[in-house]
Amino acid sequence: MTKETAIKLFEQKQVRSFWNEDEEKWYFSIVDVIQVLTEQAEYQTARKYWNKLKERLVAEGNQTVSNCHQLKMEAADGKMRLTDVADTEQLFRLIQSVPSKKAEPFKLWLAQVGRERIDEIEDPELGFDRLMETYLKKGYSKEWVNQRLKSIEVRKELTDEWDNRGVKKGQEYAILTDEITKAWSGLSVKQYKNHKGLKKENLRDNMSNLELVLNMLAEATTTEISKEKKPKTFSENKKIAKQGGTIAGNTRKQIEEKTGKKVVNKLKASDFLNSKKELE
């Protein structure tokens, strides 16, 4: 099995899945999920259930799930066959459409997430409180969490500055972030994630304290240079992003020269947390 494909186990049942590295998305076999949720013993019965459900969703005007992709996945007979698949968002929407006791915990969780999101819009501080609580439950140290929350604040100041300079969210944000990351770490965001063996996981959540600090320095410096230079074109913003990253990159090289150790490492969150447990 390669890193692009995997089998997800859901209550002892196999749910076929595929990792699309270019899109950074998991895709799951819809019929496999339906078979688990409806407790169908036969695959063909689950496939017929999905076909009927898809017809109903189309009639209701719900295109989110009905317009699903098809991918070739290994069938029970060992042959590769085209299979309807859903990404994570489509999968959650699908679960909401299935009347099943097994689906109910997911529905309750989605309702809770929706309520919490509305609360955070009304009081943004709640979002930070929940975020800190989530990180601490995962086993991160309080010092690391404080650093991570600070990095979110620094990132927000940078994106606000980009908004002021006419930079578009999405692809342009990604290009500038890539420029900053390459300039300070020597790796693009994708290369950095591959270096740590990450897929969908957030890169910053898998950085050491020192990596986080240098990333913050790169973004904060980019923000300050942008405020002074007031770039008018995307090309000028790109140049400033590289300048901000380079300053942090020079600091990284000095640290590595003095310590004899690489700052950018292959360790991810699970490694940091496991080593912390061993020390305890």
The domain limits of the chain are 5-115, 124-279
Residue 136: per-residue pLDDT: 86
Residue 280: per-residue pLDDT: 34
Residue 278: per-residue pLDDT: 36
- Which residue stretches of 70-208 are H helix? 88-97, 104-122, 124-138, 142-164, 171-185, 189-195
Phi then psi dihedrals of residue 267, to 5 deg: -70, 140
Judge whether residue 76 has pLDDT over 90: no
Indicate the pLDDT class of residue 187, thresholds 50, 70 and 90. very high
Query: Considering just the CA atoms, what is the radius of gyration of the chain in Å?
Result: 23
Q: For the segment 106-135, what is each residue's pLDDT rounded down to a tens digit?
A: 677 667 767 777 776 666 667 777 778 888
Least trusted range by pLDDT, from 82-96, 171-185, 194-208, 211-225: 82-96
Give the residue with greater pLDDT, 147 vs 17: 147
Residue 69: per-residue pLDDT: 82
Residue 178: per-residue pLDDT: 96
Indicate the pLDDT class of residue 8, thresholds 50, 70 and 90. low
3-class secondary structure, 226: helix
CA 215 to chain centre: 18
* Cβ atoms of 54 and 65 closer than 8 Å: yes
Share of the chain above pLDDT 90, in %: 39
Judge whether residue 154 has pLDDT over 60: yes
* Cβ atoms of 85 and 71 closer than 8 Å: yes
Least trusted range by pLDDT, from 44-53, 134-143, 212-221, 249-258: 134-143
CA dihedral 257, 258, 262, 264 (to 10 degrees): -100
Judge whether residue 277 has pLDDT over 50: no
> From CA 77, how far away is CA 176, in angstroms rounded?
47
Residue 253: per-residue pLDDT: 97
Residue 66: per-residue pLDDT: 63
Mean pLDDT of 247-266: 96
State the average pLDDT for the chain.
Answer: 84
Question: In the block, which residue shows the tokens 């930079």?
Answer: 167
* Cβ atoms of 173 and 159 closer than 8 Å: yes
Mean pLDDT of 52-77: 79
Question: In the block, which residue shows the tokens 């969210």?
Answer: 169
> From CA 221, how far away is CA 241, in angstroms rounded?
9
Q: For the segment 197-246, what is each residue's pLDDT rounded down to a tens digit?
A: 998 788 999 999 999 999 999 999 999 999 999 999 999 999 999 999 99
CA dihedral 28, 32, 35, 38 (to 10 degrees): 0
Return the structure tokens found at 218. Answer: 């790169």
Give the residue with greater pLDDT, 137 vs 14: 137
Short-list 215, 240, 58, CA closest to 151? 215
Residue 264: per-residue pLDDT: 95
> From CA 89, how far away is CA 125, in angstroms rounded?
26
Indicate the pLDDT class of residue 259, thresholds 50, 70 and 90. very high
Return the structure tokens found at 269. Answer: 């969150």
Three-state secondary structure string covering 94-133: HHHHCCCCCCHHHHHHHHHHHHHHHHHHHCHHHHHHHHHH
